[in-house]
Amino acid sequence: MAERRDSFGMKPDVDAVEDIIKTPHHEAHDASGTVNLYQDGTVVLVPTPSPDPKDPLNLPVWRKYMIILLVGFYSGISVLGTSGLGSVAPELYALYHNDNAKRVSDLLTYPTLFMGIGNLLSMPLANAIGRRPVFLFSLLLLTVSGIWCACSKSLTSHIAGRNIFSLAAGQSEALAPLIVQEIHFLHQHGVKLSYFVGVQNTLTAALFTATTYIVPSLGLPWWYGIMTIINGFTMIMSIFFLAETRYDRPEDATEGAVHLRLDKNGNVAREGTNEVLYQVTTRNGVVLQPEKFGERTWRDDIKLFHGKADWKSLVSFYKDVGLSLILPPIFWIFILNGAFLGLYIYQASTFAQILVQPPYNFNGKLLGYVQLVQIIDCLLAVPLLGFGSDIICKFMSRRNKGVFEPEYRLIVLIIPAACAIISAIVYGHAAASPNDYHWIAIVAPYHLGFFSFLGANLVGITFVMDSYPNKSGPLLLVVCAGRGFVSFGLSYATVPSIESLGYDGAMNILAIICGVLSAMGIVMYFIGKRVREWARRRIWPKHHEE
C-alpha cells in the first residue's frame, strides 16, 4: 500500500492517485447520488478528498477505527440505557409494585420517543456548529442523567431521568452514522457502517447479559452507575481522538470529480482560464499539501469548535427535512425502519415476561444468555449486510458501465424483510400458546427480529446518504427520528394490543405491516432514480446544494 507523503508518514485506508486532467473522462449525471464509481478498472474515490491534511477523509487508518470504536461505544451504551430494562422487566414491576403497570411500562416505551426528539434538536445544531461539540455534549448529558437515574427515589423521577438520558442517546441514531460516513468513501460505506453497528450492538448484547446479573444482585442504581463510568471514559477518550468530521467541500466533490480553474502558473484561481478536473482513484498515492493548508496537529484536533458557526443553516436544515418528506423513497424508508424497530421493541418488551412464566420458567441468568446471542446477529450482519452491500454495489456498478446507483443498496433488504415476517409470525403464535411450543420459538424469532432491524437500519442509512450525499444530515434525521416516532406509536400499544388481540393477533398485524412495506421496496428500486432527478431539478438544484 502506497504511503501518503506528509509529515506524519500516515498510511491511508485506500491506495489512491490524484489525477488532474485537461480532457476528463467523467460523465455528469442528472440524478443526485448517481456517480461514476469505476474508471479504467479502478474505483473512483467519492467524495473527492482534498490535499488538506485536516480533511477527515485523510485521517490515518488507526484514527478512523478509533472513531468507529468511540461512536460505537457511545451508541452501545445509549441503546443499552434506553432498551436494556426489557430484560429485567419482572424486577421493574416488582420494584414499583405500588404503581400502575402501564406507568411502569413507560420506562420501556418512552425512550424511543425522546431519542427521536433528541435527534430533532441535535442534528441541526451539529450542522451549524460541528459534529464534535454536539457529540461531546451528548456524552456529558448521558453521564449526568445516568447519575440522576441512579439516585432517583420514585418512579416519576426515574421516568424523567430516563427521558433526559434518551434525549442524549438520540445522537446514536443519526449523528453517529453521519460521523462514520464523513470519514469514509462511497465504496466503503456498507462495511464501515456495519463495523459501527457491530461494535454498538456487540457491546449492547454483552451488557444486556450483564444486566440480568447486575440488577438482581447489585440493584438498579449500580446498573446506571456502571453505564455512567463507561460514558465518562468514552467522553475523555473522545476529547482526544474524535476529530471534527464536518468539512467544507466543493459541491461536485460528491460526484467523484472537482472542476478547478487554474491560472497561468498552475494555481487554483477563480479567474483562471484553464479548466481541469481533479479526480482521485484507487491506484497510487495521494499527495497531501501541509505547506499550503497547514499540518494536522493535536492542538487543532482537541479544539471544541472548528470554523465559524452557520446559524442560518438551522432554518435551512429543518426546511430540507420537510422537503425530503415529499420524496416517496425517503418517506418509505423511514416508515419501514419504524415498523421494523417497532417489531423489535415489541418483542424486547415482552420476551422476558413470557420466558419467566410456565412452562419455560427461565431465571435471570438464562435471560442473560438469551441477550448474549445478539452478538451472533452482529457477526452475521457485518458480512451479509455490510460486505454484501458493498460487493453488490460494486458488481452492479461494473455491469452498469461503471456507474453507481443508490438503489443498489436496497437489494440486500430481501434478507431482513424475510426475517421480520418470519419472526413476527412465529413469535406471536408461540407467545400465544407457550404450552405448544419449545422456548426456542420465542428466542429465535426474537433474534430474527433484532437482525431484521439491524438490516433495515443499515440499508436505510446507506441508501439515503448515498442518494443525497449533500443532504445526509437532514435525511438521517428523517429516517432516525421518524422511525422513533413510528416505533413509539407501535410499541406504546404493546400492553393494550396484547389484552385485546393477544400475542398472535398483534404479531400477525406487525407481520403484514412489515411485509407490505418491504414489498414496496421493489417499486422504490425502479422509481428511485426518477425521483432523484426530479429532486435535483425542483427541490435541490445543484448550485444550491450545500
DSSP state of 542: G
Side-chain half-sphere exposure of 258, counting CA atoms within 13 A: 21
The amino acid at residue 137 is F
Inter-residue contact 251 to 542 (CB < 8 Å): yes
pLDDT in tens, 296-328: 888 888 999 988 889 999 999 999 999 999 999
Write down the pLDDT at residue 59: 94
Write down the pLDDT at residue 40: 82
Residues 6 or more apart whose Cβ sits within 8 Å of residue 494: 105, 109, 345, 346, 349, 350, 506
d(CA 51, CA 407) in angstroms, rounded, equals 31
Write down the pLDDT at residue 3: 34
**Backbone dihedral region for residue 289 (phi beyond 0: left; psi -120 to 50: alpha; all else: beta):** beta
d(CA 257, CA 27) in angstroms, rounded, equals 10
All three cell numbers of 376: 451472533
Residue 524 has pLDDT above 50, yes or no: yes
Backbone angles phi, psi at 18, to 5 degrees: -90, 125
The torsion of the CA quartet 19, 24, 25, 30, rounded to 10 degrees, works out to 110
Write down the pLDDT at residue 274: 67
Of these ranges, 1-10, 119-128, 281-290, the one predicted with the greatest mean pLDDT is 119-128
Residue 183 has pLDDT above 80, yes or no: yes
Confidence of residue 17 (pLDDT cuts 50, 70, 90): very low
Of these ranges, 25-29, 124-128, 308-312, the one predicted with the greatest mean pLDDT is 124-128
Inter-residue contact 164 to 141 (CB < 8 Å): yes
Of these ranges, 60-74, 78-92, 472-486, the one predicted with the greatest mean pLDDT is 60-74
Name the residue with higher pLDDT: 106 or 259: 106
Vertex 263 angle, CA 262 and 267, to 5° = 65
pLDDT in tens, 206-245: 998 888 888 888 999 999 999 999 999 999 999 999 999 9
Question: Can you tell me which residue has the cell 440499508?
Answer: 459
- Domains within the chain, CATH numbers bracketed: 58-247+315-544 (1.20.1250.20)
Look at the pTM and tell me if it is higher than 0.85: yes
Q: Stretch 189-211: mean pLDDT, rounded?
A: 91
What is the pairing mode between strands 35-36 and 17-21? unpaired
Q: Stretch 387-416: mean pLDDT, rounded?
A: 95
Write down the pLDDT at residue 27: 58
Confidence of residue 353 (pLDDT cuts 50, 70, 90): confident
First CA to last CA distance, the chain: 33
Residue 20 has pLDDT above 70, yes or no: no
Q: Which helix (H) or strand (E) holds 95?
A: helix 89-95
